[in-house]
Amino acid sequence: MDLSIVILVEMLYAVASLVLISAGLAVVFGMMKVINLAHGEFMMMGGYATITAVNLGANVFVAMLVVAPITVGLIGLVVERLVIRHLYGRLVDTMLATWGLSLFFIGVATMIFGNTTTGISTPIPGFSVGDYQINGYNFFIILVAIALVVGMLVILKSTRAGLIARGTMQRSDIAAALGYSPDRIYMATFFCGSALSGLAGAVLAPLVGLVPTSGGAYIAKAFITVIAGGPSLVAGLLSSAGLFGLVNQIFTFAISPVIGDVALLVAAVVLLRLLPQGVTGKFFKGKL
Amino acid sequence: MSLDRRAFLGRTATMTGAAMLPSFASAADTIKLGSILDTSGIFDAYGKPMDMAMRLAVDEINASGGLLSKQVEVSGYDTQSDMALYSQYAQQLTRQDRVDVVHGGILSASREAIRQTMRKTKTLYFYNVLYEGGVCDRNIFINGVTPAQQVEALVPYAMKKAGKKVYILAADYNYGQITARWIQKFVADNGGETVGLDFFPLDVSDFGSTIAKIQTAAPDLVIAPLVGGAHLSFFRQWAAAGMKDRIPLASTTLGVGNEQLVLTPEEGNGIMVAYNYSQQLDTPANAAFKASWLAAFGDNSNIHETAVSTYQGVMTWAKAVEMAGSLDRDSIIDALETGISIEGPGGKVTVDPKTHHAVLDVHLMEFEDQRMKVIETLPQRQPIDTQSVCDLATSPNDNTQYEIQI
């Protein structure tokens, strides 16, 4: 009984962390069709922003939920103005440019923070479920992921800004004809995407040892989740993160973490063979 | 002054020639020590202090009059944590610079990349890092601890403190696998039982499900030969789940790159380790070493295990050169094979003639407030793992890295 609760929490946590890792990319790649290979580095910078803020005396939750997203969002804004905005609609070129950016950010982070592992400890103590101890921080991550999904849904569905953003992503020419500036909307959307990546990096930072190359660990999982999710932003994210999180954890518990990762990748390959357009290319069609 | 192309080339050639002359002229007056280390890139946390230790040792040798009344000159190359550069710089050191000895290499992969070049060119080679054991080659001298030296000391101590049921978490490459095998052996030898064994690729950083699995197995002790920044997450998540006060931890790798400074005291306190060196060692040799490091570099907080090994490697070589009275490789090897010892910051280091590994003091330690508190010193531990497969006295032409079967 206790064990099943522990396993349930671990599964929810796995799904939640996939949602977090992929949310920023879902906006930047899923909505804007920019292949952001620097996504992992945006997360890494979110982590460093948190650690720096905490070391400077900020409250750890403020650092994670406010400082990191804003810092990384602003960095994203600069990147968008200088590089990305010249490359909209040129899928392959964005890939090359953002790969360069990722190397650049790793270099800058190495120069500033050095090539050693840093980190902060988790702000929430563990607690017991029967005979088992669970990492209390897992619940925080699950909560953040839920808040994030709900927030995205509300903004995209029920606010005017969300409507304009969605419209611009579908037909920027029509949006322009209706008097909105696609240039600005793209800029704002990229800011949001970067901020989400920063948030993910920040929230995951207390669980890992951070090095400038940490981003590489996330990029593959993020792309797999977003691509397997398909065209619908939120529904796609939830369905693929849910599926892969489950598969990963089942195999991790049954066999080992290595097999868990293998199972995740196999599931992704099989899924894309059966549903080349992603989960939401077939199910939940037309949903957000 | 007008300068045409011909005159420019002429002058440049003269100047270059002149610049090269002194190095030819002085070649016989100095001893050349080649160094090959990652002082940038992802392994620089190990490599930089190793480079500093090597230079400190050479400066001390030179300050006390050099070797054979010659000064020692360093030819150092930074391999930038790139394995391809090792073979390139090894060629440069042995064929162009024609150095008298090479110290360096960090990962086992880098050592294997250059070991054969050193052997072929008959350049004496010192590898100063703790590693998985088993290299058997008359041209190489290794003075880091091997798994058996460490584990033989650590396991009985940790089991006495914690209990008989052990769970092992190891990095998934040869170091972790070999070390895990030794841990299993010593657990069994001490009347214990291994209740679980998991391997993790180096990029795994999420240990949540593993922590739940460990609790299902309910061990008395967890031993974790985990490697690198991603694996550091385990110790953090273990503490975050509140497990630290329930099941004690031991590790064979944590602290080699000064990881105790990255973990907070709450996360680190009480973790048991065993190495050749701790900054907290209270010996005159260590005090002197730390003082001269401080004087040379201004900060001695970065001294770690492999830096001390490097220092001890250079000092062992220097002693052998003085004893041999020449720079001839075979005479130096003969001198080393007499089983010479030096007194280093980590204790007495003796060359084991049979394996060219080192007989060392192993110190049992516990993390305490980001320091490694020395609990007990086990003097002069033999490299029994490599000794079981390698005997250079009877087969001097051996050139293999053995996978030690237990």
A 12-71: CB under 8 A from B: 13-14, 17
pLDDT for residue B225: 93
DSSP notation for B34-46? EEEE--SSTTHHH
Q: What is the pLDDT of residue A117?
A: 77
Q: Which residue did the predictor score with more confidence, B5 or B146?
A: B146
Separation between Cα atoms, residue B163 and residue B141, nearest integer Å: 37
Q: Are residues B203 and B157 in the same domain?
A: yes
Angle of the A39-55 helix axis to the A91-113 helix axis, nearest 10: 30
Question: Is the pLDDT reported for residue B216 higher than 70?
Answer: yes
More confident residue, B44 or B299: B299
Establish if A238 belongs to a structural domain: no
Q: Using alpha carbons only, what angle is made at residue A117 by residues A111 and A121, rounded to the nearest 5 degrees?
A: 125
pLDDT digits (tens, 9 = 90+) for B95-153: 999 999 999 999 888 999 999 999 999 999 999 999 989 999 999 999 999 988 999 99
Return the pLDDT at B3.
58
- B286 lies in the same domain as B139: yes
B73 φ/ψ angles, rounded to the nearest 5 degrees: -120, 135
Q: Is A68 helix (H, G, I), strand (E, B) or coil?
A: helix
B141 in the same domain as B169: no
Residue B21 scores a pLDDT above 60: no
A 75-114 → B contacts, CB under 8 A: none
Whole-number pLDDT of residue A258: 84
Cα within 13 Å of Cα(A277), Cβ side: 9
Separation in Å, CA A36 to CA A136, A201, B385: 32, 15, 49
Quick: pLDDT tens for A103-123. 999 999 988 988 777 888 888
CB proximity A253 to B under 8 Å = yes
Report the gap between the CA of A148 and the closest CA in chain B (Å): 21
Report whether pLDDT(B365) > 80.
Answer: yes
Say if residue B406's pLDDT is above 80: no
Residues of B in contact with A117 (CB under 8 A): 45, 229, 232, 259, 262
Instruction: Quick: pLDDT tens for B371-403.
Output: 999 999 999 999 999 999 999 999 999 999 998
Inside any domain, residue A269: no
B406 within a domain of the structure (yes/no): no
Q: How many domains does chain B have?
A: 2
Task: Report CA-CA distances (Å) from B267 to A113, A125, B233, B259.
Answer: 22, 12, 11, 11
Percent of chain A with pLDDT over 70: 100
- Residue A14: its chain B contacts at CB < 8 A? 206, 208-209
Residues 6+ apart with CB under 8 A from B99: B32, B33, B34, B75, B93, B123
Instruction: Report which listed range, A4-13, B59-68, B231-240, B260-269, is most confident.
Output: B59-68
Nearest CA in chain A to B44: A115
pLDDT of B81 strictly over 60 = yes
| Whether residue B58 is found in the same domain as residue B85 | yes
Position A18 in a domain: yes
Best of B46, B203, B209, B226 to disrupt the A interface (most A CBs within 10 Å) is: B209
Give the integer Cα–Cα distance in Å for A27 and A226: 9
User: What tokens does B170 get?
Assistant: 């190891």
All residues of chain A having their beta carbon less than 8 Å from the beta carbon of residue B198 are 256-257
- Beta-ladder partners of A246: none
Residue numbers of the domain that contains B73: 29-145+280-361+382-401
Q: Is residue B15 included in any domain, yes or no? A: no
B165 and B314 part of one domain: no
Residue B211, pLDDT above cutoff 70: yes
At residue B251's C-alpha, the angle toward residues B248 and B254, to 5°, is 120
Q: Is residue A206 part of a domain?
A: yes
| Sign of the alpha-carbon dihedral angle for B123, B129, B130, B132 | negative
Among B94-98, B180-184, B258-262, the range scoring the smallest mean pLDDT is: B258-262
Confidence of residue B31 (pLDDT cuts 50, 70, 90): very high
Largest CA distance in chain A: 64
Residues A187-236: tens digit of each pLDDT: 999 999 999 999 999 999 988 878 898 898 899 999 999 999 988 999 99
Q: Count how many Cα atoms sit within 13 Å of the Cα of residue B30 in the half-sphere of its side chain.
A: 20
Q: Is residue B18 part of a domain?
A: no
The answer as to whether B12 is a domain residue is: no
pLDDT of the residue at B24: 45
- The answer to whether residue B188 is domain-embedded is yes
Q: Summarize pLDDT for B282-335 with one digit per residue, the tens.
A: 999 999 999 999 999 999 989 999 999 999 999 999 999 999 999 999 999 999
Interchain contact, B264 vs A253, CB within 8 Å: no
Percent of chain B with pLDDT over 70: 93
Q: Which residues of B touch A (CB under 8 A)?
A: 40-42, 44-45, 172, 198-201, 203-213, 215-216, 229-233, 236-237, 239-243, 246, 257, 259, 262-264, 266-267
Q: Residue A10 and residue B208: Cβ atoms within 8 Å?
A: yes
Are B153 and B271 within one domain? yes
Q: Which amino acid is at B273?
A: V
A183 burial level (CB within 10 Å; 0-12, 13-18, 19+)? middle
Interface of A with B in 112-131 (CB under 8 A): 115-122, 124-128, 131
For helices A216-229 and A2-25, the axis angle rounded to 10 degrees is 90
In a domain, B322, yes or no: yes
Contacts of A253 in chain B (CB under 8 A): 209, 212-213
Question: Is A58 a domain residue?
Answer: yes
Which of A61-75, A114-128, A216-230, B37-51 shows the highest mean pLDDT?
Answer: A61-75
In this predicted complex, what is the ipTM?
0.81
The residues, ordered by sequence, that sit 6+ positions from A206 with a Cβ below 8 Å of its Cβ are: A60, A119, A120, A121, A122, A123, A137, B236, B240
Cβ(B211)–Cβ(B241) under 8 Å?
yes
Which domain covers residue A65, as residue numbers? 2-212
- Looking at the fold, whether B175 and B193 belong to one and the same domain comes out as yes
**What's the confidence (pLDDT) of residue B28?**
61
Residue A256: predicted pLDDT: 84
What's the CATH code of the domain at B324? 3.40.50.2300
Residue B13 lies in a domain: no
**How much is the pLDDT for B23?**
44
Residue A85's pLDDT is 93
What is the count of structural domains for chain A?
A: 1
- What is the pLDDT confidence band of residue B26, given thresholds at 50, 70 and 90? very low
How many residues are there in chain B?
406
Q: Tell whether B180 is covered by a domain.
A: yes
Average pLDDT over residues B248-272: 90
Instruction: Provide the phi-psi class of B191: left if phi over 0, else alpha when psi is between -120 and 50, else beta.
Output: left
Q: What pLDDT score does A161 carry? A: 93
pLDDT-based confidence at B1, cuts 50/70/90? very low
Q: Whose CA is closest to B309, among B132, B105, B135, B114?
A: B105
The Cα–Cα gap between B277 and B374 comes to 9
- Is the pLDDT assigned to residue B25 strictly greater than 50? no
| DSSP string across B151-179 | HHHHHHHHHHHH-SEEEEEEESSHHHHHH
* Residue A255 predicted with pLDDT over 90: no
Q: Is B182 exposed, middle or buried (0-12, 13-18, 19+ CB in 10 A)?
A: buried
- Asked if pLDDT for residue B264 goes beyond 90, the answer is no
Same domain, B252 and B293: no
The secondary structure of residue B145, as a DSSP letter, is P
Which domain-ending residue is among B226, B257, B275?
A: B275
- Judgement on whether residues B337 and B259 belong to the same structural domain of the protein: no
